[in-house]
Structure 1
Amino acid sequence: MQKFKRQFLGAALAAMAAATLGGPALAQGYPERDVTAVIQWGAGGGTDVAMRGYAPYAEEALGRKIVLQNKPGAAGAIGANFVLQQPADGYTLLMGAEPQALFRVMGMADFDYDKFYPINIAAIANSIILVARNDAPWNTMQDLLSHVQANPRKLKQYLAGQGTVPFTVNTMVKSLTPFETILVPFDGDGPAIAALQGGHIDFGFIASGAVIEHVKAGRLKALGVLDNKPFQGIPPMTDAPSLRALPKYLPWGSFYGVFVRKETPEPVKAKLVAAFKKAGENPQYRKLMEGRGTTMLNLSGAEADAFIRKWQSTTAWLYQTAGTAKVDPATLGIAKP
């Protein structure tokens, strides 16, 4: 009996040691297989374009393939929820965007980026373009405003859900001047761009990375950029007299980043941070992103977290002031900007 007890105790202690040391030991060999990365939005949108350009360079640094999966829906909540259900082992990444920072404010989920660790915030698409179908009769922001105000709830406007670029810029404009349209929801920029080209909707606010090549090719018409200065020959929206106060919300734009569950082992986080940092420094990737009007950031860890908190503060309180927020940011501990 004593011998059996000693054997049982020895086995139990060995199991405890394995459980204690197994995480770090396994992390040291990471990655031992391919990594899955979930893109929160559909194919052809700004996040999809940014992440598909990013992944190959991170693969080189990791030494493993990154398998990309699009899981759009609910302004990114479907993709984020999927990643949260996977083991926190670094083998399932979230390739996310800005709406998730507002999930709690908009009452969409009981989490935002607080459940994730920011591996890298790659870039911010702070050149946002007002685009219309290419046969539209308007050439400027003011042309469109005049038409909308003379014909309220007649034109069809692209909307991608709460917290997205189209939703937020629409909120900015409506906070300054009457702007009543028919809001048509899509699961991301890609389907909306196809609808614009097909004449099924009239206009939308979209990050330049997703639309600038369509504008250059004449498939879409650019009416203005969310700025007080021109962008690649596109006039600023502030040329419209009623929108001269837009700069109080700027600079603002969608951001693209890579995240893991917060509980992921530190050695795994460190390897991912190093790989995506190196990818963000790649000259070809930077050229791709900057050519699409995107500003490279390449932030990780505490810097990335501070960036998200600042963005969240600016946008959440814009929504609160405009009466769009579902939950008071103050009750969530989100400081005023």
Structure 2
Amino acid sequence: MKKNALLILAFLFVLSPLLSQDELIVNTYNRTSTSLNGSWQYIVDPYENGYYNYRYEAFDQQDSPSVNAFFRNAKPDNPSDLIEYDFDATDFLLVPGDWNSQKSELLYYEGTVWYKKSFDYRKEDTNNRVFVHFGAANYKAEVYLNGQKLGLHVGGFTPFNFEITDIVKEKDNFLVVKVDNKRLKEGVPTLNTDWWNYGGLTRDVKLIETPPLFIQDYFIQLDPSDNRIIQGYVLLNGQDKSQEKIRLHIPGLNIDQAIKTNDTGYVTFQLLTMNIQYWSTENPYLYDVVLETKDDQVVDQIGFRTIRTSGSQILLNDKPIYLRGISIHEERPLQRGRG
């Protein structure tokens, strides 16, 4: 038993890099980015011939993947080369979007579809870093750039990103994504469910360019136990992130505070303030919030409020609020149905 447990742990240790993705960059809509939305070429692959060889071995786990691995985007050198796919000769799907509602022949299709987008990219500064960010892909996505695997993401409604600084080129990049929406007994949704598991790149795809050291993550809110205190954290990503000064600026509250990271680039803070306009359904007030380092700046709009439960009530800013809504999936907003 102990030996089996050790074997399982060893397997998970080996597998974990294959399942990993880069730490998520937050607030991508307020960062410098280049959209990859629009028309993507695609190949439907129900037997996953573009992913496995005839021994059912994954091409991307081999030292020298076959040219018939779809992520290679290979072209024949001569007419006798046996390359049985060609993205450049295929139709297009729009991104963001699902394939089921875009193509009548794919209305009830569950399985693998390969997406390909070609693009050129020149960095604003040669020292900058570049990430490819996906708002969502339903359900399992495996991502490749210029024939190299970036990683894997599982989950249809969560964003993910990968760093491509050392892979992206100024000309002739090709981004390939294998998306699989097959339902699984242990998945979400499971085999027997009450909504259709629409497949595809369902939210925005973009390139994000950052300085070498940048603001990766932050969270700013009211202290749940004291609505006069604004608290939160900031996390930097990059080299030399220890003891870095960050400016937190909220003009509407006259807050202009310098905070400093620890050795891991992380810092927490608590600030006492007065006269906060609390966010509510009647007055959904948002404050401009600016986080700034010597090389990076992120701007956000944040509403401050408290929310908690008391018995059977939900309290917003310590006042009862009634939430209206029902849980019926709406799939055809322009036709008959309820949502």
TM tier, shorter chain? under 0.3
Q: Which has the higher strand share?
A: 2
* Superposition TM-score, scaled by structure 1 size: 0.20
Tell me which structure has the larger Cα radius of gyration: 2
TM-score normalised by L of structure 2: 0.20
